Structure 1
């Protein structure tokens, strides 16, 4: 019977006994003060500790995606939740729960698409050809929207993407990463620009996806890392809204009405 209880959950992540805690085999007291938060994220999700250079590159991606303002639905949801009486944890949960396929899932999707292109190139297809083929496949099988590219606000360039790609280039020169996913990202950029006849900027999802793919994170973990990063912005906005006050704030000021499309509209 005791085995039935102790084996109900099994994990290689944490082991505890009275007065002892080990994370992935490391005593917690050895990690505290010696391991950074990005290193801890890597350890918990991957099972080993990254090099300092790997951890720094991961940290860059986490920092870049922290916030994008109250026009982002997840951040707006966190602020609205506070005005409805929720605390920080509820507001943050409200924000994270909105980070799904459309708003928040592009990073995971981009890692997957990068992987398709990488596999085709590894099989001997030239990069430009592999890129065009897999973009076509994605649009035929998944969506007309190419994850990680295009931005409704930042035109012609998302300022975060060039900085992150530059850091990947530096890491590749130092031997920290291969750099092949940065090449894939740039090949996609070239292909999309040529097809559209105008710049289609790589956005934060594409740039962080390059980093996560370079560091060996799976697509689903890339989404989890984005949620972790954006949680900081949600917390900050929720806390600010608490200081500002306000009750039951909706998505628009009360004087602005929605468009009614049913029968017998009320006339102004």
Structure 2
């Protein structure tokens, strides 16, 4: 039997008839005793966070739940429903769009913050190295829609500042993010404020989440908005809705027929 039982190994769950233990905690002791954010923390990292840590963590999850039907993942969920997919199918279609470009900036920002925090080099040099490796885009700063400021970011950073004052977090990564803001403003000659990705990345980094988990946590958060929009579209009805109303057409750039 060891060939079978050792095929998978996990520290996450131990289960037998009548028994479920998650990270060593009986499920019946967790139900009603821990919040959902605390449960996410327990499952992904082990250990139960303090109330103060869980409150800050929850704020990041709340902040990123939705950004409207113009967000590609939300639009995909709504279109999927009009094509006949169930809610779970629509959610899967949407979450699969959350990758490096749409959904990856938080993970990238955590990576950048850690690089800056561990490097013995000027900030400008680190940003130049980052751009050489990843392109000109600095993840977590500026926003194509919210100008001059993403309204979610100042609130989140304010909560980090309060958590740093009471000793819940160090505030080190918030300082790094603000340093990047200053550097980018100096380069551009105008403010380039931290956005939702940069602010939630500050929280995830402050709380000790590794960068890859930052993307997964964003997917969990945004899944709430995805589910909401998919269900709303299900109630509204509609069939085979595309990305634009039928009266609008795309720009054709191919060859034209040659008249005889």
TM-score category of the 2 structures, normalised to the smaller one: over 0.9
Q: Kindly provide the CA deviation profile for residues 203-260 of structure 1, in whole angstroms up to 9, marking residues without a partner as x.
A: 1000000000000001100000000000000000000000100000000001100111
Aligned residue runs from structure 1 range 234-245, under 5 A = 234-245=226-237
Question: Does the CA-based 8 Å contact 1:110-1:209 persist in structure 2?
Answer: yes
Residue 166 in structure 1 maps to residue 158 in structure 2: yes
CA distance, structure 1, for counterparts of residue 233 and residue 53 of structure 2: 35
- The CA deviation at 1:265 is 6.5
Which residues in structure 2 correspond to 1:161-200 (within 5 Å)? 161-200=153-192
Task: Find the aligned partners of 1:164 and 1:57 in 2 and give their Cα distance.
Answer: 8
Aligned position for 1:21: 20
CA drift at 1:201: 2.1
> For residues 157 and 20 of structure 1, do their structure 2 counterparts lie closer, same or farther at Cα, with a shift above 3 Å needed?
same
Partner of 1:99: 98
* Alignment map for 1:5-154 (pairs within 5 Å): 5-120=4-119, 123=120, 125=121, 129=122, 131-154=123-146
- Normalising by structure 1, report the TM-score: 0.95
Contact 1:77/1:94 (<8 A) preserved: yes
SS of corresponding position for 1:226: helix
Which residue matches 2:217?
225
Whole-Å separation in 2 of the counterparts to 1:232 and 1:14: 25
Determine the C-alpha separation between the residues in 1 that align with 2:135 and 2:86.
Answer: 37
Unaligned runs of 5+ in 2: none
Mapped partners of 1:230, 1:91: distance in 2: 13
1:155 paired residue number = 147
Q: Per-residue deviation at 1:166?
A: 0.2
**Partner SS state of residue 108, structure 1:** helix
Aligned alpha-carbon RMSD (Å): 1.1
Aligned twin of 1:257? 249
Post-superposition offset of 1:104: 0.2
**Count of aligned pairs:** 258
Q: 1:109 to 1:250 in 2, by over 3 A?
A: same
Query: CA deviation digits over 1:178-221, x for unaligned, max 9?
Result: 00000000000011011001111211000000000000001100
SS of residue matched to 1:166: helix
Partners of 1:134 and 1:64 lie apart in 2 by 29
CA contact (8 A) 1:155 1:201 kept: no
TM-score when scaled to structure 2?
Answer: 0.98
Alpha-carbon distance between aligned partners in 1 of 2:193 and 2:85, rounded to the nearest angstrom: 37
| CA distance in 1 between partners of 2:88 and 2:23 (Å) | 27
Q: Which runs of 4+ in 1 moved over 3 A?
A: none
